[in-house]
């Protein structure tokens, strides 16, 4: 079974631009979560989608948004980029929304904002 894939792997943008990141979960997985990883902050939860509905949201400004499609693929969008948005963005999928289901992470998208 293919793992979680994220595209693109690397991205360079300038302040004020917007960006869209994509995540394809493991086949059959219906839950997708997004995290931001920055040095010293660990993984910060952004949001989780299950069956095309956002089920949970972290403490990020409204510039961060996401969606999930009927095939469980997910995208996250960051508008009006700021320097502080430079980070590794990780996507994780799991079969359902049961907490004890293991989350499988993709390799991440490294976003650099100049």
Contact residues toward other proteins (CB under 8 A) are: 4, 33, 35, 40-45, 48, 50, 55-56, 58, 90, 92, 97-100, 102-108
CB of 100 to other proteins, least distance (A): 7
Q: Is 46 left (phi over 0), alpha (psi -120 to 50) or beta?
A: alpha
CB of 52 to other proteins, least distance (A): 14
Return the number of the residue (18 or 66) whose C-beta is nearest other proteins: 66
Return the number of the residue (55 or 63) whose C-beta is nearest other proteins: 55
CB of 15 to other proteins, least distance (A): 26
Q: How far is CA 113 from CA 1, 13, 33, 40, 77, in A?
A: 34, 5, 22, 18, 14
Beta pairing class for 42-50 and 31-38: antiparallel
């Amino acid at each position: 079974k293919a793992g979680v894939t994220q595209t693109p792997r690397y991205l360079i943008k300038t302040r004020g631009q917007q960006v869209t990141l994509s995540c394809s979960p493991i086949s059959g997985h219906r839950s997708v979560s997004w995290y931001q990883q920055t040095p010293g902050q660990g993984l910060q939860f952004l949001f989780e989608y299950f069956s095309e509905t956002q089920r949970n949201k972290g403490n990020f400004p409204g510039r961060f948004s996401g969606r999930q499609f009927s095939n469980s693929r997910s995208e996250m969008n960051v508008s009006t980029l700021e320097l502080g948005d430079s980070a590794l963005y990780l996507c994780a999928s799991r079969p359902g929304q049961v907490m004890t289901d293991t989350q499988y992470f993709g390799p991440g998208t490294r976003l650099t904002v100049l």
